[in-house]
Structure 1
């Protein structure tokens, strides 16, 4: 464009101004974000927040489970952390409520959340949202999730186990169910792996109860069954027998890294002459991460 009568030209704030007061607006290019791009951007941000929420809660409330999850294949690590966060959320209900009714309400929330997940209704709660993603990715079995909730709900009764069998059932319905779900994230469908998961879950349930004895005693509560004298021996036998199970596929190994934690505690409790109140048992093992890493390379449990 030519301007014959303009002797000088200035551009300020998007206006082209000539000496003879001729003003021409110069439009700057603008870029509009498409609605789909906005939606994807928000979804990405929300997804990252949900993932970090699960990482934080597992690291804080289930440090050993957090370490084990880090050794899962990268493709399934996020789903493993989501499942452990789900388990943590349920486990802490009992100690975080003052009335059983409130605990039951929270359990009902999780039952409804699981049902919504399997209706493909995307939830807003961070852990539920991550579970929804894991279910979509790995076709996880709803029965195992609901069984964990139901068993945790029964545990709100706040009663001691009548015998070791009841404690084993609790471990099967909670810890073993979690292991079944972790195996599904790894794509492992194997009867021998399921059998191992059942035994390991029971052993973990027993040792978790034993490890919690000092904390429960400080609250004037006792949950150990009367025949607890059988506990340590039976746990050792269970873990030892599993060590020679060659029929379990190597792909299941990450799900069973928890056995390293169980063996570590058994060794330390022996050194403490089976005194579960010994101060050494209240401290974290500083070399546990290394032990887990080395075990993950051996492909045995």
Structure 2
């Protein structure tokens, strides 16, 4: 039977309330996906994904809302999938339990591409997106593998390791978003690579206070060592020059990637710009962290900029990034 451990809130419970939905979809009892769709209220799965993204990734929620109608549902499915994976490490106290949850998503991905998705809301919406937009399995698999490899929360050994992880997670998600927009273009892919790396560095920097409160440090070790910033100082939230220098170096690298992505804009299809609206978030953070002299623990950096929705809408209207 489908484990209730995979069900965390009432929309999910609605999806598995029927005894028929508790059948495993493998072996002799497997049923085809069209039978599942008759039992499951697909609109409930769609609402669940929207609610999950709105609660856990508000900026991503705004980005998805700005997508064209034919790609919006897939955008919410992809972002909900990303949220599901990213929050696993905070939901389990044992890394082995986290790996079990990752294994669930490995198996779910196989079932999605075999057209027998489990009765789980994010999986069902992802299945719909795969069917409608012919999403590449490789990118989804790479996200799961990279999240799983990083589940132990160890610091990145180097900036290159951080960029490799960002490429595997953020860039893969951008590739999938481009596919949902019907964009398959080498220049768009090149821009996505740089945007993904910038997003990964931005996410790493913005999460420093949260991670420090849980005694975690993910800043690249090589840069911390170069400036004499110790992990214990970061965990204690000390606002020393050495830590600010680390933040400066990472912010500079994120800025470089943004500039590379923008330099490609004239050769990137206009439709692709909607996948890159999140560059607004990176630019806003880099401006604000510069104003506080790269003090990543400054309280103002944890406040949401009320003008972000306006700026994001403006970029989407202009089809630029």
TM-score between both structures, scaled by the size of structure 1: 0.84
Q: Which runs of 5+ in 1 are unaligned?
A: 1-38
Alignment pair present for 1:159 and 2:159 = no
Aligned to 2:186: 191
Q: CA deviation at 1:219?
A: 1.2
Alpha-carbon offset, residue 123 of structure 1:
2.2
Is the Cα contact below 8 Å between 1:243 and 1:300 reproduced in 2? no
Name the structure with the higher helix share: 2
- How big is each residue's C-alpha offset from its partner over 1:150-196, in whole Å with a ceiling of 9 and x where there is no partner? 00000112211111000001100000000000000000010000011
Select which of 209, 214, 220 maps to 2:209.
214
Measure, in 2, the Cα distance between the counterparts of 1:108 and 1:300.
38
* Moved beyond 2 Å, runs of 4+: 42-45
Q: 3-state DSSP class of the match of 2:41?
A: helix
Assess if the C-alpha contact under 8 Å between 1:107 and 1:153 holds in 2. Answer: yes
Counterpart check, 1:251 vs 2:271: yes
Deviation at 1:231, TM superposition (A): 1.0
Q: Deviations over 1:98-133 (max 9, x none)?
A: 001100000000010000000011320000000010
Aligned to 1:290: 310
**Displacement after TM superposition at 1:271 (Å):** 1.1
Q: Find the counterpart in structure 2 of residue 173 from structure 1.
A: 168
Contact 2:192 2:261 in 1 (8 A): no
CA distance in 1, matches of 2:285, 2:39: 40
Q: Shift in Å at residue 45 of structure 1?
A: 6.8
Equivalences for residues 19-168 of structure 1 within 5 A = 43=38, 46-168=41-163
Q: Contact (CA 8 Å) 1:123, 1:132: kept in 2 or not?
A: no
Tell me whether 1:241 sits opposite 2:260 in the alignment. yes
**What is the total number of aligned residue pairs between the two structures?**
262
